[in-house]
Every structure is written in C-alpha cells, then in structure tokens.
C-alpha cells in the first residue's frame, strides 16, 4: 500500500487525508522532518502559504523537503500548496523584517497569489483537465466529465518554463476578472515530472480524480 503524507502544519489537512484514504492508500499527517521519511509522496494542502512557509522552516521541514523535491519526490500542491511548489512567487508577502515569504520550489513557474481577488470573490467553474482519461469516473470511451473546481482566494500561474505541462486553464469567457483588471484565459493546473499543482481545491467538493492522477504519477503509470 502506498504511503502518502499530507503536510499538517495548517490548512485543510483533514480533507486531503480523507480524499487519499477513500482511494485506498495510507494517508499520514506530517508535522516533523522525521515523518517525511518512508513516504511515497506528499500533499501540500490549501491554507495560507505564508503560515505554512514560516512553520515549515521553524520545524526544520522546509530544507528536508526541498532536498527531497530536487531528488524527484512526488508532491501535489493545491492552492497554497501550488504557491509553495512555485520556483517564483510574483508578489511575495514580506514579514516584519522585510524578508519575502519563501517556497519549496520545484516547478519552473511564476505564481500570483490571491490573483482572482479576495475571499468574497471565491467561485466555482467546470474545468477540462488533461491526463484524467481512463481514471475512475470516466465514460466507456475514456472521456471524463469536467471537474467542478472551487477557487478560494486562489493563485493563478502567470508563466511556465519548458519543463512544465499545462493541464488546465479557465477559458477567458468563464474567468472572473483578475486583480489585474483583465479577463483572459488563466492557467490553473500544471505538472512537471512528479510534481502536480492546482489553483483550486478538488478535495472540498468530493472530487477525487486529481488525487487519483497523483497516485498514478507516484506509481509511474501516468
Ligand atoms: N491565498 C492563500 C495563500 O496565499 C491561498 C488560499 C488557499 O489555499 N485557499 O496562501
């Protein structure tokens, strides 16, 4: 049985543990560097990226995780988790000493935080996502119904490097105006090697296919 951790410092940890358990893997909360060993993969939950960054450095997790990511350790980040997987945060929050928030990095992309606006601007949209065909819930032809995606103070991906595959964008006609005041297509799901990131929260609406895709990525058959 695969053992998949959920970084358990802050955020919607329980929802991810439940999503993973429902797919038949062992799901374990991770709060210390020791608990990172012996895992086949890790989920970075949604929450507040500045808080997760601060606590993970305080507890000595950040350095260990960065090294593991560089070594090919599979990680899925949702929302705040996507921010933590970005090599570059477009507009990092500064702490009182004027130091920018940090990420674990791993995906060659620039991510913009709170890009769709504030909590009150949260929204849901149906998304076509690449790479889900053949997973549970697909029709006999292999095609997938769209994924109902919840965006809660969500980031978007502003740009990606050559090593990054875009798995989903919200088309311009369905995209709310962003904080830049424009309405254009926005990248909201990406994959790079064994790293997967989504701007939205599949776990809150009972959607399981993103976690399923991650499990296949770990097994090496997706
Ligand atoms: N806005 C949050 C951040 O910057 C992310 C929101 C979320 O994870 N729902 O960390």
Interval between CA 49 and ligand 1 midpoint (Å): 6
**Residue 113 backbone class (left: φ over 0; alpha: ψ -120 to 50; beta: rest):** beta
Q: Which domain holds residue 112?
A: 3-219
- Which domain CATH number covers 35? 3.40.50.880
Average of per-residue pLDDT values in the chain: 93
Residue range 132-159: mean pLDDT, rounded: 82
Q: Are strands 107-112 and 86-89 parallel, antiparallel or unpaired?
A: parallel
Q: What ipTM goes with this model? A: 0.94
What residues are designated binding site for L-glutamine? Answer: 47-49, 113, 152-153
Q: How many CA atoms lie within 13 A of 39 on its CB side?
A: 26
Residue with token string 């609406």: 205
pTM: 0.95
Confidence of residue 136 (pLDDT cuts 50, 70, 90): low
What is residue 17's three-state secondary structure? helix
- Calculate Rg over the CA atoms of the chain: 16
pLDDT digits (tens, 9 = 90+) for 203-219: 887 889 999 999 999 99
Looking at the 3D structure of the chain, how many domains does it have?
Answer: 1
Instruction: Tell me how far CA of residue 36 lies from CA of 11, 22, 29, 48, in angstroms.
Output: 18, 21, 10, 21
Q: Write down the pLDDT at residue 55.
A: 97
Interval between CA 139 and ligand 1 midpoint (Å): 33
Q: Write down the pLDDT at residue 141.
A: 61
Give the bridge partners for 118, in sequence order: none
């Amino acid at each position: 049985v695969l053992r998949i951790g959920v970084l358990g410092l802050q955020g919607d940890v329980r929802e991810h543990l439940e999503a993973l358990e429902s797919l038949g893997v062992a799901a374990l909360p991770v709060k210390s560097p020791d608990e990172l060993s012996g895992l086949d993969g890790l989920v970075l939950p949604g929450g507040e990226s500045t808080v997760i960054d601060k606590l993970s450095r305080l507890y000595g997790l950040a350095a260990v995780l960065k090294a593991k990511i560089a070594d090919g350790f599979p990680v899925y980040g949702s929302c705040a988790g996507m921010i933590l997987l970005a090599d570059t945060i477009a507009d990092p929050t500064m702490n009182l000493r004027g130091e920018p928030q940090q990420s674990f990095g791993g995906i060659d992309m620039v991510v913009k935080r709170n890009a769709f606006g504030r909590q009150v601007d949260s929204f849901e949209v149906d998304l076509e996502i690449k790479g889900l065909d053949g997973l549970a819930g697909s029709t006999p032809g292999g095609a997938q119904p769209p994924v109902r995606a919840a965006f809660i103070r969500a980031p978007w991906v502003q740009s990606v490097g050559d090593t990054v595959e875009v798995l989903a964008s919200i088309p311009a006609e369905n995209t709310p105006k962003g904080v830049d005041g424009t309405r254009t297509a926005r990248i909201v799901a990406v994959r790079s090697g064994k790293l997967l990131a989504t701007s939205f929260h599949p776990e809150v609406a009972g959607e399981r296919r993103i976690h399923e895709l991650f499990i296949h990525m770990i097994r090496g058959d997706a």
